[in-house]
Chain A
Amino acid sequence: MNIPIRRLISQGQSLNVPLKRFIAEDLKFFLLGSRSKRGVIPMTLLYLLLFAIGFVYLYPLLFMFVTSMKSPTDLLNPMVQWVPTEFYTGNYAKSFLVLNYMEALASSVSVSLVPSVIQAAVCSLIGYGLARYNFWGKKLMFALILATFIIPAQTTVIPQMLTYKQLGLLGNVLSIILPAVVGQGYQSAIFILIFYQTFQSMPKVLEEAARLDGASDLKIFLQIAIPSALPSFLISIIFSTVWYWNETYLTGIFLEGGVQTLPMQLSKFTQAYENLYPPGTVNIFDRLNEAVKLSGTFLIILPLLLLYFLLQRWFVESIDRTGITGE
């Protein structure tokens, strides 16, 4: 910048022209930026875009939360859109009762956390076997693992259900846990692949050193492989818990008539509500309305939201850490 200015001055031109040009250049740089630094206009556009997309993502949650805080009078009042006139928690009190919240929460935790921990343990074994050993049929096994990911549950669920029925396991948490024990849990293919990737990127030197010291294969797995794969364990357990928690097809079939999870309670919310508050007998303000329903929905996702904000680092960095992109 300096040299042309000085040259222009030395050529005896008035100072005004280069200064103006200098300011114009500077302004352009400030607004549009250069290759190395973004200017104000691209930055504003970027944030506008981010905010717009962010709003679209958050809109259902905002809508749900605001509506769930509305009292019956606010609901009927067309002037009240986004800000309720009073702090009203009556909807939550009702849906807390209707959902049988504490009990359903406890069973949701057991139906999701227990299979997840087992699934992570078993999938780590399988992933380790695939990553560290060569054996006949390994390619076939990979193909079958991918197939288990694709096969719709509908093609396997009925005989399982009938078997469980004969064994008297229908409605028991065991019906969800048993498949996880033998590596056939919900989305197990993904977790096997995560562990496969993790163990494959583990340096072989450690393993060989331990083998020279006389460690057995199992010992190497337990004392060297597992400690080095702790992030993968944590990520698997977190994701698996979330997916088990939100899974309603299999739980709906296997647990019917027995343990009731939170999403299951939500799907029969209307019926349960009308049992507690029979529509003919209660006054108009206690009838089921969308505010009560959405407060119930919010209560269902609340535990997962809390989990997410507590552990969000692990969620969003998960794929970086485990390197699962399929190559």
Chain B
Amino acid sequence: MIGTKSIRKHGLKLRTREALYGYGFVGIWIIGFLVFTLAPMVETFRYSLNRVTVTATDISQIFVQWQNYSRALFTDPTFVELLIGFAIETLVSVPIVLIFSLIIALLLNLNFRFKGVFRTIFFLPVVITSGPVIQELTTQGATSAPGIANSAAVVEFLTTLPRYLRNPLEYLLTSFILILWFSGVQILIYLSSLQKVDQSVYEAAAIDGASAWESFWKITLPSLSTTTLIVAIYTIITLSHFSENKVIKYIYLQTYAVDGGIGYASALSFLYFAVLTLLLIIVFLLLRSRK
């Protein structure tokens, strides 16, 4: 008797009930996503198709179709250059961050004394890399590879190179430490993946006569392929969201510029988003594990 009553009371199917409770937990995110991400994005897209002027009381919009976009791509001399610069810098930085964080993670995965001290040092940049701090350090010349970037021989050598080679190299030399400073979280991700590789595989390989070098290439690296993809994507995202990024600064300036304004800045944001997505797709296609 009691049974039938409680079934009628909770008449819902178990799966429906579960789904409802699930929505109860995640519902707040769905609301937040609609209000704070989707709606502003749609709104920004609408702005990007209009000429927007903000007055004290109102926002007036004049529909201009794709004019903002064509202006950014074909008339604006700086934006496209900045975008290309951003893409090149990212594509230069990502492999360096990948290799560097992997090397440090491999080192930290060994057993030696004072490991804790070194781990603390290598992870320190995560705590202090904010835009203004980096900006200050860069202008004082504290982030270039010590002593190399400014030596006369290097400057001389760089001027002999064609431009498409010179820019990435120059960036590499002047921002060397900066690039390394962006590898903190990546080191952690690699380290924890390394610790998850099954030790018995290494032992079996060692018994079969594999050297440490061979087991690195044949065991360690293949088992890290997914991690590498994650690290690469994470790196691109952090670099693209960094507030000292030149593209971001330019978009910010245009928002408040007289001849630019909100409509133009919105168009720039979407173009930037498109380039970022393109970069992510390229890296994804290059690094996904082929099976």
CB proximity of B56 to chain A, nearest CB, Å: 10
CB proximity of A193 to chain B, nearest CB, Å: 11
Q: Which residue from chain B places its CB closest to the CB of A320 in the assembled complex?
A: B192
Q: Is the CB of A59 within 8 A of B177?
A: yes
Which of B128, B269, B272 is in CB contact (< 8 Å) with A305?
B128
Stretch from A1-9, A19-27, A48-56, A276-284 at the B interface: A48-56
- CA of A56 to CA of B96, assembled, Å: 15
Q: Is the CB of A319 within 8 A of B192?
A: yes
- How many residue pairs link A and B with beta carbons under 8 A? The number is 256
Q: Is A129 in contact with chain B by the CB < 8 A criterion?
A: yes
Q: Is B153 in contact with chain A by the CB < 8 A criterion?
A: no
Q: How large is the interface on B (under 10, 10 to 19, 20 to 34, 35 or more residues)?
A: 35 or more
Say whether, besides A57-B122, A242-B127, A266 and B104 are in contact (CB < 8 Å).
Answer: no
- CA of A89 to CA of B138, assembled, Å: 23
- Chain B residues with CB under 8 Å of A300's CB are 130, 132-133
Q: What sequence of 0s and 1s flags, for each residue 136-170 of chain A, a beta carbon within 8 Å of any chain B beta carbon?
A: 10100100110011111111111110100000000
Question: Which of chain B's residues 93-141 have a Cβ closer than 8 Å to chain A?
Answer: 104, 107, 110, 112, 118-133, 135-137, 140
Q: Is the CB of A182 within 8 A of B29?
A: yes
Which of A46, A64, A247, A312 is in CB contact (< 8 Å) with B107?
A46
Q: Is B50 in contact with chain A by the CB < 8 A criterion?
A: no
Tell me the interface secondary structure of chain B in the complex.
helix
Stretch from B17-25, B66-74, B77-85, B160-168 at the A interface: B17-25
Q: Is A125 in contact with chain B by the CB < 8 A criterion?
A: yes
CB proximity of B272 to chain A, nearest CB, Å: 6
Q: Which residue from chain A places its CB closest to the CB of B229 in the assembled complex?
A: A326
Q: Is B227 in contact with chain A by the CB < 8 A criterion?
A: yes
Q: Is the CB of B137 within 8 A of A57?
A: no
Say whether, besides A148-B37, A192-B29, A57 and B273 are in contact (CB < 8 Å).
Answer: no
Q: Is the CB of B177 within 8 A of A56?
A: yes
Q: Is the CB of B26 within 8 A of A249?
A: no
- CA of A133 to CA of B11, assembled, Å: 19
- CA of A125 to CA of B230, assembled, Å: 25
Q: Is A60 in contact with chain B by the CB < 8 A criterion?
A: yes
Question: Which of chain A's residues 201-221 have a Cβ closer than 8 Å to chain B?
Answer: 217, 221
CB proximity of A18 to chain B, nearest CB, Å: 28
Which of B15, B18, B31, B191 is in CB contact (< 8 Å) with A182?
B31
Q: Is B172 in contact with chain A by the CB < 8 A criterion?
A: no
- CA of A179 to CA of B36, assembled, Å: 7
CB proximity of B30 to chain A, nearest CB, Å: 8
Given contacts A145-B29, A158-B43, A184-B29, could you give 13 more A-B pairs where the C-beta distance is less than 8 Å?
A: A60-B142, A126-B26, A133-B22, A134-B18, A144-B33, A148-B37, A150-B280, A159-B40, A184-B37, A248-B131, A248-B132, A264-B132, A297-B137
Q: Which residues of A contact B (CB under 8 A)?
A: 35, 43, 46-47, 49-50, 53-54, 56-61, 63-64, 67, 122, 125-126, 128-130, 132-136, 138, 141, 144-145, 148-160, 162, 178-179, 181-184, 192, 217, 221, 242, 245-249, 252-253, 263-264, 266-267, 269, 290, 293-294, 296-297, 300-301, 304-305, 307-309, 312, 315-316, 318-320, 323, 325-327
Which 6 pairs across A and B sit closest by C-beta, in order of nearness? A129-B25, A182-B32, A133-B22, A246-B130, A154-B269, A135-B19
Selected A-B contacts with CB under 8 Å, 17 pairs = A54-B118, A125-B25, A135-B23, A136-B19, A152-B269, A154-B251, A154-B272, A155-B269, A155-B270, A159-B43, A246-B131, A248-B132, A248-B243, A267-B132, A304-B128, A312-B120, A315-B123
